[in-house]
Structure 1
Amino acid sequence: MRQPAIRLANASAAYDGRPVLRGIDLTVAAGERVALMGRSGAGKSTLIGLIHGQVPERVALVPQAAALVRTLSVFHNVYMGRLDRNRTAHNLRNLVWPARADLDAVGAVLARVGLADRLRERAGALSGGQQQRVSVARALYNGRPILLADEPVSALDRVQGGLVLAELACTHETLVMALHDVSLALAHATRIVVLTAGRIVLDAPSADLDAAALRRYYTDEEALA
């Protein structure tokens, strides 16, 4: 039996006194790839935040917004994934004069998401999809065993999105990802957890589900997206 990487018991969360999550029981074993699904506002982002707060030292995070420093280069934004594992003097030097070894390491990660030629470009000059891939590259460079990702491929087409999800699965032992695309979730997750109004209403192996079983948890507009 694999050891749990994540465990929440009867967890809840509220904003301004309004309940967002209620009675959440969730255990994720090391090695699982979990897709969090459900309508907009169901509580997926809040659940990712709860998990992150529980084990921050073991997590690489892809936030919903790319959260890049737009005035800095792509290199510097990806390099931030390991800032806490380098000496302050080394980080300050890299801000002005990046070390060749760090340039090569970041460049290799960018190649995995199709952005090897963007290493020295300003992050703010990239398209939305490219910025999202930089955010993914930062998590890949971080390399910690648990990946938490909030819609990490929402700005990409299905082919690109599938390639990016495959790269994440290669690097991180355990994945918990909020995904909107039903096809990608079924193809790249081993387990599907669906939230409705802040509660878990479905928790099943992806092999036991199909698109029709999941689309009923969405509005007509979301199901067609």
Structure 2
Amino acid sequence: MITIDNLNLHYDKTAGYNTRKKTGKKETSTQVIFDLSLTINEGEKVAIIGPSGAGKSSLLHHIYQQLQTSAALCSQRQGLVDNLSIYHNIFMGALARHHWLFNLVNLIRPFKQDLNDIATLCQQLELDQPLAKKVDQLSGGQRQRVALARALYQQQDTFIGDEPFSALDPLMKSRLLDTVLARHKSVIMVVHDRELAITAFDRVIALDKGRLVLDSQKQSINQQQITALYQTSAVA
């Protein structure tokens, strides 16, 4: 599905991500990924873990840029439009599937089928709120589920998520993860919950200070290895 070969990724506050370091007199970019190589095959369920500042979101951003037309992204920033309803925010995930005129009419006066489809999706995500409710009136956990619903509504084979359940309790997190895994052929997700990473995913990738330090199938790793990674980073 995707192969990355010796990736060196830099981030610039004004220019965003780039794979080449700037050569001007004043250096404004920071290297966030160092000499990283990996291959992710179609059908894999991959968790990306690592301490804060390890480069997880940067790697995920790069992967999404390579797969953009065939992947649905659920990012930490959410990208919700506060003054629009739950329905409108979720339906925006389907804009690329329809003609612009269909989208315009459906956003002004939603069609019954789309209302039913989105209502069903919200039920599956345990989002028990009126679809007409504006998202600026929702809690943090509810907003996360709206962002998740919009990504699921894209109906892509690949789901890319950057800690999409961080504001949810462990039981809700586990149930929603099961939904994501069941609805997508391939999943690549930054995961904060280390135990969840090694129990729910096929493969675990760990980063530390922008470098790949672990890449194993789940049956080959254990919680002690993961704990040691975070302890070593904290000491350093």
| Alignment of 1:10 onto 2:6 | yes
| Alignment of 1:121 onto 2:133 | yes
| Alignment of 1:138 onto 2:147 | no
The CA RMSD over aligned residues, in Å, is 1.6
Question: Which residue of structure 2 lines up, in the alignment, with residue 42 of structure 1?
Answer: 54
TM-score relative to the length of structure 2: 0.88
Structure 2: distance between partners of 1:65 and 1:219: 28
Whether the 8 Å contact between 1:73 and 1:123 is mirrored in structure 2 is yes
Whether the 8 Å contact between 1:39 and 1:219 is mirrored in structure 2 is no
C-alpha displacement of 1:117: 3.5
Whether the 8 Å contact between 1:158 and 1:184 is mirrored in structure 2 is no
Structure 2 residue runs without a partner (length 5+): 13-28
Whether the 8 Å contact between 1:66 and 1:132 is mirrored in structure 2 is yes
Q: Which residue of the other structure, out of 168, 173, 183, is the alignment partner of 2:180?
A: 168
Instruction: Tell which deviates more after alignment, 117-126 or 161-170.
Output: 117-126
- What SS does the aligned partner of 2:205 have? strand
Question: Which residue of structure 2 lines up, in the alignment, with residue 19 of structure 1?
Answer: 31
Q: 1:116 to 1:200 in 2, by over 3 A?
A: same
Question: Which residue of structure 2 lines up, in the alignment, with residue 151 of structure 1?
Answer: 163
Whether the 8 Å contact between 1:108 and 1:116 is mirrored in structure 2 is no
Structure 2: distance between partners of 1:113 and 1:6: 29
Structure 2: distance between partners of 1:159 and 1:210: 22
Instruction: Tell which deviates more after alignment, 116-125 or 158-167.
Output: 116-125
| Alignment of 1:201 onto 2:213 | yes
Structure 2: distance between partners of 1:97 and 1:115: 22
Percent identity between the aligned chains?
36
- What SS does the aligned partner of 1:23 have? strand
Question: Which residue of structure 2 lines up, in the alignment, with residue 189 of structure 1?
Answer: 201
Structure 1: distance between partners of 2:212 and 2:142: 33
Between the two proteins, the alignment pairs up a number of residues equal to 218
Instruction: Tell which deviates more after alignment, 182-191 or 165-174.
Output: 182-191
Q: Which amino acid aligns with 2:121?
A: V
What's the CA shift string for 1:115-136, capped at 9, x where partnerless? 1543221111110011001111
- What SS does the aligned partner of 2:168 have? coil
Question: Which residue of structure 2 lines up, in the alignment, with residue 56 of structure 1?
Answer: 68
What's the CA shift string for 1:162-206, capped at 9, x where partnerless? 111110011111011001101211221111100011110000111
Q: Which amino acid aligns with 1:8?
A: I
Whether the 8 Å contact between 1:79 and 1:138 is mirrored in structure 2 is yes
Q: 1:88 to 1:219 in 2, by over 3 A?
A: same
Structure 2: distance between partners of 1:67 and 1:215: 32
Question: Which residue of structure 1 lines up, in the alignment, with residue 86 of structure 2?
Answer: 74
Question: Which residue of structure 2 lines up, in the alignment, with residue 104 of structure 1?
Answer: 116
Question: Which residue of structure 1 lines up, in the alignment, with residue 97 of structure 2?
Answer: 85
TM-score relative to the length of structure 1: 0.92
Whether the 8 Å contact between 1:78 and 1:137 is mirrored in structure 2 is yes
Q: Which residue of the other structure, out of 11, 33, 41, is the alignment partner of 1:29?
A: 41
Structure 1 residue runs without a partner (length 5+): none
- What SS does the aligned partner of 1:118 have? coil
